[in-house]
Each structure stands twice: as C-alpha cells, then as structure tokens.
Amino acid sequence: MSPIMAGRSIASLWKRARSAELRPGGRLVCQFMGRGADGHGFEWMAGNFWRSIVDMERERLLTAEETLRMASPSAGRSLDQLAAPFEAGQVVGLALDHLSAVPAPDPYWDALQETGDAAAFGRQWANMMCAANGPNFSARLDAGRDRAQLTNSLLQRLAARIEADPQPGHSVIVIMSISKPG
C-alpha cells in the first residue's frame, strides 16, 4: 500500500472512530499546529532541530539507522484542508462547529528584544523543543545507548544554532470544535 493510500485509510479510520466514541450531544475540542498562508511557521525551528540530528550522525554520535528512525514528517493543515472532509460529507455522524486559526506568539522573542541575550533565547527554545521532541528522539535510539547524554548533546547543538541565528517563531494554532448531534 502506498504511503498516500495508507494515510487516507488512517484518516478514514480516525473519522469513524471519533464518530463511534463520541456520545450524542458530545463535543470534541482540539487545538493543534496548523498552517497559515505561507506554511506552518515552524519550518525554521524544525529545520534547526533536524540539522542538529544530522550533525550528530556526521560526527558518529548517531548511526544512520537511528537518524532514519528519527525522521518524523509532519505538516500542519490549512483551514480549507480541515474543513474539506466535513463539507464533502466524509465525516458521517459528526459536525464541524468551529474552525479558526490564530498566530501563536513566540514565547521568548520579547525577552530577547529586551535583553539581547541570544544565548538565553537559544536555550529556551532548545529546552522547549527537547521537552516536546526529546522522548521521540530518545525512543528511536538503539538499545543500550546513553539517552540522557545524547539528548543533552542534541539540546546543546540546537541551542547553539538558534543563538547563532535568532528569529521569531511564526507558528499557527488551529482551534477546532466537532460535535455529535444528539
């Protein structure tokens, strides 16, 4: 089965599962990374994270197999993409009640502008990225590896990259409310 067909099958299964598990009159509220007109806004940060992993492989801290397992493709969806299955009647038994996208502020940018401390900015973003993605990184390491040491190495590399080229984050947050009519 092609990755595209597998993705469609998973999406179809997800739609049926949400409809089956939501009680009549129930509501599911979701908040997740979305996509704006120019992208999901996280390309710069995700790119730095990935380049840090690739550097670790180049320096033989990671094997090629470990690096391959770390690939975690993701793509924020646009509002049109999210609404389309509801508008096409593909989500049987559920209704899309609300769908909006809001720009997410960079939680560290204002402090950087006030202090000029790019090192602190780099550490803050690296800590956030490792908190969110560190368990995924760690789980893909071969058995017997020093997970804490390798995660710390990733954290230091990422912080240094961000410090060297600080930029404000421009991510988009989607808020979606789905209900099951009662």
Q: Which residues contact residue 69 at a Cβ distance below 8 angstroms, ignoring those fewer than 6 apart? A: 140
- State the total domains in the chain: 1
Instruction: Evaluate whether 39 touches 47 at the Cβ level (below 8 Å).
Output: no
The 3-state DSSP class for residue 77 equals: strand
Owner of token pair 């995700």 = 46
Cβ burial, residue 15 (10 Å; 0-12/13-18/19+): middle
> For 71-108, where are the alpha helices, taking DSSP H only?
79-87
List, for residues 122-136, the tens digit of each pLDDT value. 999 999 999 988 999
Which residues constitute the domain of residue 21?
3-179
Please tell me the predicted confidence (pLDDT) of residue 72.
72
Q: How many residues does the chain have?
A: 182
**Beta partners for 96?**
178
Q: Which residues contact residue 98 at a Cβ distance below 8 angstroms, ignoring those fewer than 6 apart? A: 175, 176, 177
DSSP assigned state of 178: E
Binning the chain into helix, strand and coil, the percentages to the nearest 5 are: 55, 15, 30
Please tell me the predicted confidence (pLDDT) of residue 15.
61
Please tell me the predicted confidence (pLDDT) of residue 10.
56
Please tell me the predicted confidence (pLDDT) of residue 9.
57
143-162 burial, b at 16+ Cβ within 10 Å, e below that, comes to eeeeeeebbebbbebbbebb
Count of C-beta atoms within a 10 Å radius of residue 45 = 21
Please tell me the predicted confidence (pLDDT) of residue 138.
94
Distance CA 102, CA 105 (A): 9
List, for residues 132-169, the tens digit of each pLDDT value. 889 999 999 999 999 999 999 999 999 999 999 999 98
CATH classification at residue 9:
1.10.1200.270
The angle, 0 to 180 degrees and rounded to 10, between the axes of the packed helices 43-58 and 118-139 is 70
Written as tens digits, the pLDDT of the chain (182 aa) is: 444 444 555 566 666 666 678 889 999 999 988 887 777 677 888 899 999 999 999 999 999 999 999 877 677 889 999 999 999 998 888 999 999 999 888 999 999 999 999 999 999 999 999 998 899 999 999 999 999 999 999 999 999 999 999 999 888 899 999 999 98
Q: What is the pTM of this model?
A: 0.76
